[in-house]
Amino acid sequence: MTNNIKKMNPSNSNTPIVISVTGLGYVGLPLALEFAKKYPVIGFDINAERVALMQQGIDPSKELDASAFEGCTIQFTTNAADLRQANFHIIGVPTDIDANKVPNLNPLLGASQSVGSALKKGDIVVYESTVYPGCTEEDCVPVLEAASGLQAGVDFQFGYSPERIVPGDKVRTLTNILKIVSGSTPETLDTIARVYGSIITAGLHRASSIQVAEAAKVIENTQRDINISLMNELAIIFDKMGIDTQEVIAAAGTKWNFHPYQPGLVGGHCISVDPFYLMHKAKQIGIEPQVIAAGRRVNDYIPSFIAKRIVQGLIEQDKNPGKSRVLVMGVTFKEDVADIRNSKVVDLVKELEDYSIAVDVVDPYGSPSELLTHYGIRLQEQPVPGAYDSVVLAVGHQVYRAMRPADFEQLAHNQLYLFDIKGVLEASEFDNYWRL
């Protein structure tokens, strides 16, 4: 990594571009490193511990190995003043919801303030964070103007290019996922497309407006949320009827136009969050969403449903839930990643504890300090052999998929009752087995 950064102005397509990336998480860091193979890059984040690791060539999110940092012209910094060295600014900070499930724009507006304080005439700002249609122009750009004293569309330009990073996916990575781009003017769009097109091999889709690009991103995950909620509701119905949902899906999947979505815990920072952004905007314009809201209710109910099913299983074994010990295997929001943001396994653990069940949690990827700080969950280093009245396979990490029935059985106190939420194991290999 080198730090040879020169000041340039992107308003002239013939002048070299210097890029800044604000927010170096799952979205920003891969983007910054990919651009840094072709351009000088300023990587800015307010988390000093994370920046210190990146300066050593370490990805705090554990998604990239050390080789990803090689051959990059990049300066990692926590000093917003360093952003003045760039002329093409990208903002990719997380967008979450608050306790009332209302969009929390504070990180996004804070990042806009930092970038705005460094803006110069001729600069371009591109947002990648997931938002509702209109957020870039109505909420973010005014912050840029106030912080810079410059006028949008006159002194600087802006655009929106939604992130499509899939944590844990080693096949569909940044450069081979088609990128949506949009800009405040046709000329700005040309520049944004030229910059992104220099690293994206899968091609670009030029949206006709920034709002179209914002809407496209938010409905990608809203659609998935609704489809999964249907499967979750079906799983609840079929479980009551004693029918195996996975067998139903396999049978229905023999028809060419059936889409085999899977039931499960819907957490993470995208699918379980983005629909609330769209619902928020809909309510602002006087529309009360029905289908989107129903999907969210179903998916948010699933941890409670599973907890009740586990309690029922314990009772069926003549065990007192209040005197039982349960092992939960996996707590990150999806398999083979370290990301714990909005993990619904956390909700499941809390639900079980509300039944006075003693819960041990293990996970080879989750950070013990983060889980304790953010959720009050103490991660066990290893499960205790022969200690558990029930074992819950909550996340399908590859290391768990590779376990044999005997590996699970040695964890159980007396007879094993395995709850395989992801349905990744072979049901016929277990005597007492349940899957969603």
Active site positions, annotated:
270
The Cα 89–Cα 150 span in angstroms is: 15
Q: What's the CA gap between 403 and 406, in Å, rounded? A: 8
Q: Are 340 and 370 in contact (CB under 8 A)?
A: yes
**Cβ–Cβ < 8 Å for 426, 404:** no
Query: Which residues sit opposite 90 in a β-bridge?
Result: 21, 126
Given a contact cutoff of 8 angstroms between Cβ atoms, the answer to whether 206 and 181 are in contact is yes
Residue type, 428: S
Helix, coil or strand: residue 228: helix
- Residue 169's CB is within 10 A of a number of other CB atoms, namely 13
Q: Per-residue b/e over 119-142, b at no fewer than 16 CB within 10 Å?
A: beebbbbbbbbbbbbebbbebbbe
Say whether 115 sits in a helix, a strand or coil. Answer: helix
Handedness of CA 117, 119, 121, 127 (dihedral sign): negative
Spatial CB neighbours of 48, under 8 Å, sequence gap ≥ 6: 78
Side-chain half-sphere exposure of 336, counting CA atoms within 13 A: 12
Rg, C-alpha atoms of the chain: 24
CB 217 within 8 A of CB 135: no
DSSP string, 57-95: T--TTS-S-GGGGTT-BEEEES-GGGGGG-SEEEE----
Of 318, 341, 328, 325, the closest CA to residue 394 belongs to 328
